[in-house]
Every structure is written in C-alpha cells, then in structure tokens.
Homo-oligomer: A and B are copies of this chain.
Amino acid sequence: MKIGFIGLGIMGKPMAKNLLKAGYSLVVNDINKEAVAEVVASGATEAASAKEVAQQSDVVITMLPNSPHVQTVVLGEGGVIEGAKEGLIVVDMSSISPIVSREVAAELVKKGVVMLDAPVSGGEPKAIDGTLAIMVGGPGETFKVVEPILQVMGSSVTLVGEIGSGNTTKLANQIMVAANIAGMSEALVLATKANVDPEKVFKAIRGGLAGSTVLDAKAPLVLEGNFKPGFRIDLHIKDLQNAIDTASSVKTPTPISNSVIEMMRALSSDGKGSDDHGGLVQWYEKEAGIKVRK
C-alpha cells in the first residue's frame, strides 16, 4: 500500500518518518523543500504537487495548519482531488474546523474518495515517539483499512463517530485544556497577590478535586516562568476560534472559550503568541502587576 503524505511541518515530518521506519512506501509533498529533502533522505520519494501525490497513492495523509490550507491542498488547483482515483482514502490529520472536514469530505465523495478526519493531540515529542492520541471521524470500514497506519503514529487511536467527529473531539479537548489553564492561572495569581506561596498552594491541592494533567504539567513551569513551547498560544487561539465557530453553527454557548481566547489574543498582540499556552498566566500577571514565582 502506497501512502502519500502532504505537510511536513513540526508534526508532519516526524509522523512521516515513523511511517517510513515502519516499512511503508511514502510519496511526499510540501512547500518547504528542506523538510522534503530530509524525508526523502529517510527513504521517501517526492511528488511535485498534491495532485501527483494522489495519483501515486492508495491513501493520502494531510497534516496542515488550518482549514483553508486543507481546502486548497485537497480541493484547489493541482490538489488531491485532481489526482484522485476512485477508492482513494484521504486521512486529514490537521486540526481544523469539523464543518470544513464535512464540506471537504462531501466534495471528495463525488469522485468516489472517502475521507477521514483524524486530528492528533500530544505535540512534537509524541509525534516523534509515535505516541500521539488520534481521534478519528468517518466510516467504520474505512477506519479499519487505515487503522494499522494510524497506529504507527499514535498510541491511542479512537473512532469517535462520523466525518467531522475527530475534529469536534479535538475541539472539546482544547476547550477543556484552555479552561484548566485559565483556572490554574486565575487561582495561582490570586494566591500570590494575597501573599500565599503559589508553590505551597500547588502542593496542597494537586492531590484533590482541583488536580489535573494541566496542573501537574504546567504549574511547575509557571513557577519557573518557563514558557518555552510545547504548544503555542497562537495555535490554541486557532483551535478556540474553530471551537467558537463550530459552537456558533450548532447554537451552543462558549463563555469560557470566549474569555480565554480574549486573554490569548491580548498576549499574542503583546508578542507572546509563540509562548507555550501555559504562558496564559502572563495575562493575569500583567493585570495583577505581580509574577507567580517560587
């Protein structure tokens, strides 16, 4: 089975390399020629366009920044759809709007092409280790065909529902992470401003109902003022905007996401968009005029 891989960024490049290591035959494309050269050196072949990738593949994986890139690369001029033969499977692993996932899939199906949306969670280290969490939407029989491929890249691969469900699940994930980071930040800045050692607060409460993966992973970094990414604030803004847009389309409220995206936008305007999302605490620190430090 020949796999096409389009999008060799921070996430896509190690994912493609893991597929090569697992013995899959890969044809790749990216606008970044350096990344292409690196993956070709690992055993892939290059195609000149998304269309040519599709012509040579049984399964095309796309790993792109956001919805418009997926629309262009899959449906645009010289895109996947132009090179697709009937029976091709497209697995879009980008984190995009589930509405766009459904729209792109609906266009592909007219050419006999089935699409899955399969966004990932875990960031660059887990992309390198092949231990991503992969949330998949689409038909069960198509999922079964590509499941072994996905398991090369992820340690948890879950079919959650029909097309778009993967991205909806990813958005649910990102809403919870945003809320947990904001709650932690609000609490630690209040404690610090009220003259209580934030490290003692962290240690006193982490074992109780306030405990979370975010608290364990991010509080120690907040206490050091270490906001090296990790997962960038600008990417979390993108995900929250997709969540808010999706919520708007299905008419459900998102007051917490609305609050957090405002804080993140203010930080991005302040030049901190490339900080880790744990750096959200800096919004509170600036407002309160103190820093959370041990």
Contact = CB atoms under 8 A, between A and B. Distances in A.
Interface of A: 98, 121-122, 133, 135, 137, 156, 158, 160-162, 164-165, 168-169, 171-180, 182-184, 186-191, 193-197, 200-201, 203-205, 207-215, 217, 243, 246-247, 250-257, 259-260, 263, 284, 287-290
A210 B176 contact: yes
23 contacts: A121-B205, A121-B209, A135-B205, A156-B207, A161-B195, A168-B194, A169-B191, A169-B196, A169-B201, A172-B190, A175-B187, A179-B256, A180-B180, A180-B210, A186-B256, A190-B252, A209-B213, A210-B213, A250-B288, A252-B287, A252-B290, A256-B256, A259-B259
Nearest to A255: B259
Q: Dominant SS at the A interface?
A: helix
Can you tell how many copies of this chain the complex includes?
A: 2
A252 B285 CA distance: 9
Contacts of A195: 161-162, 165
Contacts of A135: 204-205
Question: Which 7 pairs between the two chains have the least Cβ-Cβ distance?
Answer: A179-B183, A212-B212, A172-B187, A176-B210, A252-B288, A175-B187, A158-B204
A247 B190 CA distance: 6
A268 B184 CA distance: 25
Contacts of A215: 176, 212
Given A169-B201, A200-B158, A259-B256, A250 B210 contact: no
Contacts of A183: 175-180, 183, 256
Contacts of A194: 98, 164, 168, 246, 250
Nearest to A205: B173
